[in-house]
Amino acid sequence: MAIYLVCEGSGPRLDERALDALVIQFHNLAVLIASTGGKSGQGAVCAYLENRSPHDTAISIEDRDYRPLAAAQATWANHAGKRFTWRRHEIENYLLHPRVVLALFDDLRAAPGGAWAGPLPVTEADVSGLLQTLATTRLEDHAAEVTRSELVQQINGIGSLSFGPPRPAPPPGAHAPGQAQWLPALHHEATRLCHTCNAVAPLPALQPVAITARYNALLAQFQNPLFLTSGDFLIDMGGKELLGALSRHLHGLGAPGRLDQHVLADELLRVLIPIYQPGAIYQPDDFAELAAILAQY
């Protein structure tokens, strides 16, 4: 019997390395990791892995992105389920906890040639203040991304707008569908798409006035100081974008050129691994909860 943990990630595979260190290795689990490159292929990968052997199990974890926190919470409500969503925006958000960032700042100050890092915050509270300042410049963008995500959900609630007729069955004795099967299928799919467009067009939420009102309401919510001071911004906002803002800030202080967004993520993961303890940094702790779920199998 094999147990698989299916996650997103491509290139440097940050998700895979974080899960291996903080979930599998930390808890000494006999679990294999499969990285898909994106959430769109997770279902297919899980199905493939489980269909290879009736005794194998595939558990998946995906980014929340701009979906509501409640939607992510719902996936954790039933630990017998197999498909989970990070409670934070994406894996980078876990690296941006002020305690983790402070640990990296301490390392940078102590490193040879680290004089440039002298002005960096020396307390967790001051690190949080710096991250809040960096996030402030992205609030308008964040409100737009949340608005866009809500509009996509509205459209998807009506039906798919992609054109892709199901492959028709070939006639008896034939090896492939012919004109007589394909043309009705193509016509039917075109008709379906037109009906979907007609149903979507009058949706109240898609009208310019409604979009403007919703965007302004979200922007006011995010510009409320509580969104920043509570730390909610580190849960909801795009972690990659915040990492990019932090990298630019460090370069402005004189950080070496190699400390780009991707290297910064690697360095934050490096300092997180030795200081991580279940429940000590994250509440709730998705890493610990995921480990407990995997240990059931």
Contact status, residue 234 vs residue 97, Cβ threshold 8 Å: yes
Length of the chain: 297
**In the chain, pLDDT over 70 holds for what percent of residues?**
98
Angstrom distance (rounded) from CA 57 to CA 4: 6
State yes or no: pLDDT of 238 exceeds 90.
yes
Angstrom distance (rounded) from CA 256 to CA 125: 25
Q: In the structure, what pLDDT confidence band is assigned to residue 10 with cuts at 50, 70 and 90?
A: low
Level-2 CATH architecture, domain 3-92+284-295: 3-Layer(aba) Sandwich (3.40)
Predicted pLDDT of residue 80: 76
What is the average pLDDT across 25-54?
87
Predicted pLDDT of residue 39: 66
- β-pair type (83-85, 32-35): unpaired
Contact status, residue 50 vs residue 57, Cβ threshold 8 Å: yes
- pLDDT tens readout for residues 203-229: 999 999 999 999 999 999 999 999 999
For 64, list phi and psi in degrees, rounded to 5. -80, -35
pTM: 0.91
- pLDDT tens readout for residues 90-148: 999 999 999 999 999 999 999 999 999 999 999 999 999 999 999 999 999 999 999 99
